[in-house]
């Protein structure tokens, strides 16, 4: 009774209806009626509400999933195959930027767009190196080393974390940032450009220059006489004026043929808006970053990832293009490493993918058709492409990017109501995500969560590997009401 009295001294904890469940989701394959839904959606407005939700869920044998922005590519932050409670952090979104101390307090429910906008409100010479999606929640993104166009200058978002809420805001940006977006058709020497990009973008240009490459398929059949063909998009950001960028590109990558009228000088916060648009390019004001509307970000898609340590030959690139032409809307999002990423040791934080990599590949496929059959067809295509890429990517282990969650590479299983791992040590997929740091994560998990209460299908489990929590059916909301005081 003492615990109940303590809880009742708190303000009521908001519980949301299931209609709210789908609103923040960016991966539409999890919105169908056949997908598991939470028993309750808890929307805490203060930290103590989270504590209460955890205690109640544990008492009633309910698993917890925590959603920050709703971008989990496998839905592990908001779905579960066993009865669960969803803690949605969208109300915990306060941001306090302290320019004098070069840091910022950020709550886990804030979005990247809100963080960027808050920093820019306080200073025109400070920024933050993180992802491109404005609606991504910081709770997941910061903790798993999300990155963006300042990766080569400052590293990942996780490299800036001081403690659970405090991030380093001592990231200096110049008053002028130059961006450019260059489209190249296959017949303009696409294969040769990609082949050279592999080493130029990661090894031969300064840290201030980021050249992202997106390989897609053109459906402009009028130009191609009824044929589909590979097309490239180079997205460039340079922390400096366009004149300096032009000099660098002329010296290091003249084949790209960048022209002065293709370079756009702007502030850092304007460049954030520019890069936040993946599938379109519309001029938007900077306060667009504050919008939580998914817009075109919400879609049906599947993602996988790889790291490349040696350049892929032109012949093999041509074979990859042939494979891509089999799919309707495929993309290879290729992000250059090097720079600051080559200076940070593998064991500095949990994220280990550092100096050995030339670039990371994100494999994506989008589709509009409804139904499980269409989904499986697109899943099979991307799995085949991933299998084909095996000889050309990192090995022992084949590295993977944890923010691009991928259950194909492995998972924990629920056996007789218990979350269990088939491995005596760190799982093979854990090594793909974290390499040698996986063992350290197991030790931390064993110390702070020895019974694996906080878990999902790709959680690093404590060393005993079994979660001694019995999942069972609750008798109704009244069981939870006594504790959550709704």
Q: What is the CATH number of the domain that holds 385?
A: 3.40.462.20
Q: Are 323 and 232 members of one domain?
A: yes
Last-in-domain residue among 392, 425, 453: 392
Residue 335's domain comprises 177-267+290-392
| Residue 388 placed within a domain | yes
Q: Are 354 and 479 members of one domain?
A: no
| Residue 439 placed within a domain | no
| Residue 426 placed within a domain | no
Last-in-domain residue among 392, 407, 424: 392
| Residue 46 placed within a domain | yes
Question: Exposed/middle/buried for 479, CB within 10 Å: 0-12, 13-18, 19+?
Answer: middle
- Sorted by sequence, the CB contacts under 8 Å of residue 31 that are 6+ apart come out as 22, 25
Q: Specify the DSSP class assigned to residue 385.
A: H
Distance CA 216, CA 321 (A): 9
| Residue 210 placed within a domain | yes
Listed in sequence order, the DSSP H helices in 263-371 are 268-275, 314-324
| Residue 345 placed within a domain | yes
β pairing state of 84-88 and 40-42: parallel
Q: Are 210 and 316 members of one domain?
A: yes
| Residue 443 placed within a domain | no
CATH number for position 64: 3.30.43.10
Last-in-domain residue among 344, 365, 392: 392
Q: Are 69 and 192 members of one domain?
A: no
| Residue 433 placed within a domain | no
Q: Give the CA distances from residue 463 to residues 350, 431, 438, 451, 460, in Å, rounded to whole numbers and listed in that order.
A: 17, 15, 11, 10, 9
Count of domains in the chain?
Answer: 2
* pLDDT tens digit at each of 486 positions of the chain: 222 222 334 455 565 555 555 555 667 677 677 778 888 889 899 988 999 899 999 998 899 999 988 888 898 888 888 889 999 999 999 999 999 999 999 999 999 999 999 999 999 999 999 999 999 999 989 988 999 999 999 999 999 998 877 788 789 999 999 999 999 999 999 999 999 999 999 999 999 999 999 999 997 654 555 689 999 999 999 999 999 999 999 999 999 999 999 999 999 999 999 999 866 667 889 999 999 876 666 788 999 999 999 999 999 999 999 999 999 999 999 999 999 999 999 999 999 999 999 999 999 999 999 999 999 999 999 999 999 999 999 999 999 999 999 999 999 877 665 566 555 567 899 999 999 999 999 999 999 998 888 888 899 988 765 444 444 433 333 333 322 222
């Amino acid at each position: 009774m003492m615990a109940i009295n303590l809880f009742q001294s708190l303000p009521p904890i908001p519980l949301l209806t299931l209609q709210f469940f789908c609103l923040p989701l960016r991966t539409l394959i999890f919105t169908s009626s056949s997908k598991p839904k939470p028993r309750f959606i808890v929307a805490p407005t203060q930290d103590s509400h989270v504590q209460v939700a955890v205690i109640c869920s544990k008492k009633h044998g309910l698993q917890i999933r925590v959603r920050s922005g709703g971008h989990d590519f496998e839905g592990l932050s908001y779905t579960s195959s066993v009865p669960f409670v969803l803690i949605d952090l969208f109300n915990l979104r306060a941001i306090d930027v302290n320019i004098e101390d070069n840091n910022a307090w950020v709550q886990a429910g804030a979005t990247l767009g809100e963080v960027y906008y808050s920093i820019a409100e306080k200073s025109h010479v400070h920024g933050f190196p993180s992802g491109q999606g404005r609606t991504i929640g910081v709770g997941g993104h910061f903790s798993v080393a999300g990155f963006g166009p300042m990766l080569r200058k400052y590293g990942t978002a996780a490299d800036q974390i001081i403690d659970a809420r405090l991030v380093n805001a001592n990231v200096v940006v110049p008053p002028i940032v130059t961006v450019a977006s260059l489209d190249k058709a296959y017949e303009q020497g696409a294969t040769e450009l990609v082949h050279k990009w592999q080493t130029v973008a990661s090894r031969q240009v300064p840290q201030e220059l980021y050249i992202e490459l997106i390989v897609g398929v053109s459906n402009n059949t009028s130009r191609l006489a009824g044929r589909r063909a590979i097309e490239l998009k180079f997205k460039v950001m340079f922390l400096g004026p366009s004149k300096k960028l032009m000099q660098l590109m002329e010296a290091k990558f003249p084949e790209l043929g960048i022209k002065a009228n293709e370079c756009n000088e702007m502030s850092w916060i304007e460049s954030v808006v520019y890069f936040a648009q993946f599938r379109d390019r519309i001029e938007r004001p900077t306060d667009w970053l504050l919008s939580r509307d998914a817009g075109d970000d919400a879609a049906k898609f599947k993602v996988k990832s790889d790291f490349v340590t040696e350049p892929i030959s032109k012949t093999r690139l041509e074979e990859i293009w042939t494979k891509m032409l089999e799919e309707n809307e495929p993309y290879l999002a290729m992000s250059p490493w090097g720079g600051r990423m080559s200076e940070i040791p593998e064991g500095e934080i949990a994220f280990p993918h550092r100096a050995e990599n030339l670039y990371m590949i994100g494999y994506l496929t989008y589709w509009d058709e409804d139904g499980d059959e269409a989904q499986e067809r697109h899943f099979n295509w991307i799995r085949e492409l991933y299998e084909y890429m095996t000889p050309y990517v990192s090995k022992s282990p084949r590295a993977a990017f944890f923010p691009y969650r991928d259950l194909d590479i492995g998972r924990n299983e629920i056996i007789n109501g218990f979350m269990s791992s088939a491995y005596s040590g760190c799982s093979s997929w854990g090594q793909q995500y974290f390499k040698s740091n996986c063992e350290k994560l197991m030790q931390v998990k064993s110390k702070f969560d020895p019974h694996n209460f906080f878990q999902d299908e790709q959680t690093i489990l404590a060393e005993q590997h079994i979660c001694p929590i019995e999942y069972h059916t609750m008798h109704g909301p009244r069981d939870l009401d006594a504790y959550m005081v709704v």
